[in-house]
Amino acid sequence: MIGAIEILIIAVIFGIIYGRDAIDKTFRKSANEGVVESMAGDLKELYDNDPKRMVKVSAIIVGAIAFLATGAYWAITRTDFLKMIGLDQ
């Protein structure tokens, strides 16, 4: 049977091999522009192609933040998390 470490090693290898190609194809950065300028251009192009896509992405980001905040609130109030980190007696 394949263990978790072997699966992780395989995933890292595939990430190294295919990650650079995906990044190079996705972000078309010129030599004279910064990362933020490049990302702003990519986001503008995405918005021009499908304006509703930006609304969907924004909804997903807001939902993810709400989910994480709710999970953190639950972890702090319903468990002994504060005692574990030494902030409560």
DSSP for 59-76, please give it. Answer: HHHHHHHHHHHHHHHHHH
Tens digits of residue pLDDT in 5-64? 888 888 888 777 766 655 555 555 555 666 667 677 777 877 787 778 778 888 999 999
Considering the domain architecture, whether residues 45 and 83 belong to the same structural domain is answered as no
At residue 23, the pLDDT reads 56
Domains in the chain, number? 2
Question: Would you state the pLDDT for residue 14?
Answer: 77
CA 23, chain centre distance (Å): 14
- For residues 35 and 14, state if they share a domain: yes
Same domain, 3 and 44: yes
pLDDT at 69 over 90: yes
Domain limits at 71?
A: 51-89
> Where does the chain have alpha helices with state H?
4-26, 35-49, 51-78, 81-84
pTM equals 0.45
Q: What is the pLDDT of residue 47?
A: 78
12 and 24 co-located in one domain: yes
What pLDDT is recorded for position 58?
84
